[in-house]
Structure 1
Amino acid sequence: MSFLDLEHLEKTFGDTRVVKDFNLNVAKGEFISLLGPSGCGKTTVLRMVAGFETPTSGAIRVDGKEITRLRANQRNVGMVFQSYALFPNLTVAQNVGFGLKVAGVPSRDRAARVQEMLDLIGLPDLGNRYPWQLSGGQQQRVALARALAPKPQMLLLDEPLSALDAKVRVSLRNQIREIQQQLGITTIFVTHDQEEAMAISDRIVVMHQGIADQIASPQEIYNSPATEFVASFVGTLNRLPAEVTDPAAGRVRVGDTEIALERNLPAGRVTLAARPEAFRLAPMGIPATVTGVEFLGALVSVAADVSGTPITFVVFNGADEPVPEIGANIHLQVAPSRLMVQKAA
């Protein structure tokens, strides 16, 4: 049984439908990421769950209770914003305990809960500092502690890491996931960063133009995208034009190379799509010419030309085979199961 149900949510601003027939069922304790480009409606969905926006139509239920028309302060949810939104005139401890004070929690109980939260986020001795005395990562952890202090039913995070540098982002996203799993709290996380969503989510909702294009695990989103938008938006995708030579046998020709896909195909021209890691160097296969080499640490990204079409593939740095040099003529193979068939561009 799901804990959070979003049923046929719609949101219109003026003549613009920002969210269109959005449906989502979230299990208790699940970590869901809303992923998509700017303007796709992901933050609007989050704000409707939080109570900051009222749906034009549709319903929101938490644990079987409809909360669609309840005000934000009537919903037992914790919210973490991109901008931290800490009170500059209050200490860290006072910020964390603000919601508890508003709720009328006695000072002794409030102090104990604040210390518990500071221990949880790894800042046990910084309660007397002010926000301006903290780093960006520390401020966001304080914002997280403030959201969790009143023991909300759900945790909502609106791009909480986008203002931080890369190293701090990775560290903090892992900490958020650890805390979420430790508390078992149902969490909705909004981001436009696909790597972020892939790293910490139980499931991802890929949004596009106000709709959910696909709702699935990170592995399924990446390996089996449901739409061309999902395939293009999540990860890097190579596209090779191909001619179907035998639709029933699933045979196609890429340049002068024929590939058996072992599935039924439409007649005519198609586009074969594959992730960079699907290709491997081989003695025979699809001919290509190396046009660029980029070292990425453990991996090396290689750019190549296949019959006039640019692609990229990856090889391991330090593997037995040397990295191909620019200008080298090579051959590539790809497993038929790793090739996605799309309409011809």
Structure 2
Amino acid sequence: MSFLTISHLEKSFGPNRVVKDFNLTVDQGEFISLLGPSGCGKTTVLRMVAGFESPSAGQITIDGADVVRLRPNQRNIGMVFQAYALFPNLTVAQNVGFGLKVKGAPTKEIAARVEEMLSLIGLSELGNRYPFQLSGGQQQRVALARALAPKPQVLLLDEPLSALDAKVRVSLRNEIRAIQRELGITTIFVTHDQEEALSMSDRVVVMHQGIADQVGTPFEIYNRPATRFVAGFVGTLNTLEAKVLDPAIGRVDVAGTEILLHRALTGSNATLGLRPEMVSLGQGAHDTGLQGTITDVDFLGSVIRLRADVGGQSIAFDTFNTTQSSPPRIGEKVVLGLNATDLLVIGD
């Protein structure tokens, strides 16, 4: 049985429907990411779960209890914001213990829990400092500890890493995931960063124009996109226009090369998707080879990103940098190797 259930959730601001019939079930201890571009409704969903926004329609239940009519402080939810929202006049320890103090917990219980939380986030020695004396990453750890201290049923994270530099973000997202697994707390994480969502989540909800376009594991979202939007939004994807030669078996023509997809198609044309990492220089052991001409070469250190023109269609792919060989030059004729099973048929 699911621990958190969101049923037919909707939210309108005047005539603008921001969230449209949103449905999601979350198991206890599961880490879910809401992923999508700005304005897709992901933060609005999170704020309705937290109680900061009232749904126009729908139901939210936590452990079987309907919480839609409860105020935020009645929902036993911990929330970490993008802007940290630490109290500048309180020490780190006082910030972490604030929620417990508001609940009227005994002083000894607060002190013990604060010590436990500071140890969990690796800041035991900084309890007497003030927020302005901490780095951005340390402040976000404190915000996380403060949200976890009252032992909430659900943890909500609203783009908590977006204000940090790239190196700190990678480190902190690993720490957040490790802490979440250790505590086994049900978590919803909002982000527009695909790498964060794919690397941290048990499942990802890709949102588009107020709806959940696809819900699945990171593997499913990346490798089996259900819609054209998901295919284009998550990761880098080459799109190839193909002429359908035999719709019953999925035989198509791409730039003069016949490819058998072994799946039924409809219509006289099809749009195919191909991830750059599925393409290699030279056909080798691949079942398909496309003739192309190199149009762009970008040296990125360990990886060289190339782009080739294949019958008027552009295909991007990467090769590893080695000292033994130089990358092909712009204008050079090449063969791109790929397998028909790696081609995605892109729907609406």
| TM-score, reference length from structure 1 | 0.96
Secondary structure at the counterpart of residue 282 of structure 2: strand
> 2:227, 2:346 within 8 Å by CA — same for their partners in 1?
no
Moved more, 107-116 or 291-300: 291-300
Counterpart residue type for residue 247 of structure 1: P
Q: Is the alpha carbon distance of 1:341 and 1:81 closer, same or farther for their aligned partners in structure 2, counting shifts above 3 Å?
A: same
**Aligned match of 1:329:** 333
Matches of 1:321 and 1:260, distance apart in 2? 33
**Aligned match of 1:180:** 180
Count of residue pairs brought into register by the alignment? 344
| TM-score, reference length from structure 2 | 0.96
> 2:81, 2:159 within 8 Å by CA — same for their partners in 1?
yes
**Aligned match of 2:19:** 19
Aligned-residue offset at 1:263: 1.6
Moved more, 97-106 or 281-290: 281-290
**Aligned match of 2:31:** 31
Matches of 1:41 and 1:309, distance apart in 2? 34
Secondary structure at the counterpart of residue 125 of structure 1: helix
Counterpart residue type for residue 80 of structure 2: V
Q: Deviations over 1:295-325 (max 9, x none)?
A: 3344322111111222211222339775323
Secondary structure at the counterpart of residue 160 of structure 1: coil
Matches of 2:333 and 2:340, distance apart in 1? 23
**Aligned match of 1:234:** 234
Matches of 1:40 and 1:320, distance apart in 2? 47
Aligned-residue offset at 1:125: 0.3
**Aligned match of 2:295:** 291
The aligned runs of 1:1-345 (5 Å cut-off) are: 1-283=1-283, 285-318=289-322, 322-342=326-346
Matches of 2:323 and 2:28, distance apart in 1? 44
Matches of 1:59 and 1:343, distance apart in 2? 31
Q: Is the alpha carbon distance of 1:343 and 1:159 closer, same or farther for their aligned partners in structure 2, counting shifts above 3 Å?
A: closer
Moved more, 317-326 or 3-12: 317-326
Percent identical pairs in the alignment equals 67
Secondary structure at the counterpart of residue 142 of structure 2: helix
Unaligned runs of 5+ in 2: none
Counterpart residue type for residue 121 of structure 2: I
Matches of 1:214 and 1:305, distance apart in 2? 32
Counterpart residue type for residue 173 of structure 1: R
> 2:226, 2:347 within 8 Å by CA — same for their partners in 1?
no
Unaligned runs of 5+ in 1: none
Q: Deviations over 1:219-256 (max 9, x none)?
A: 00000001000000000110111111222232111112
Secondary structure at the counterpart of residue 317 of structure 2: strand
Matches of 2:60 and 2:267, distance apart in 1? 45
Counterpart residue type for residue 280 of structure 2: R
Matches of 2:65 and 2:232, distance apart in 1? 38
Matches of 2:240 and 2:328, distance apart in 1? 21
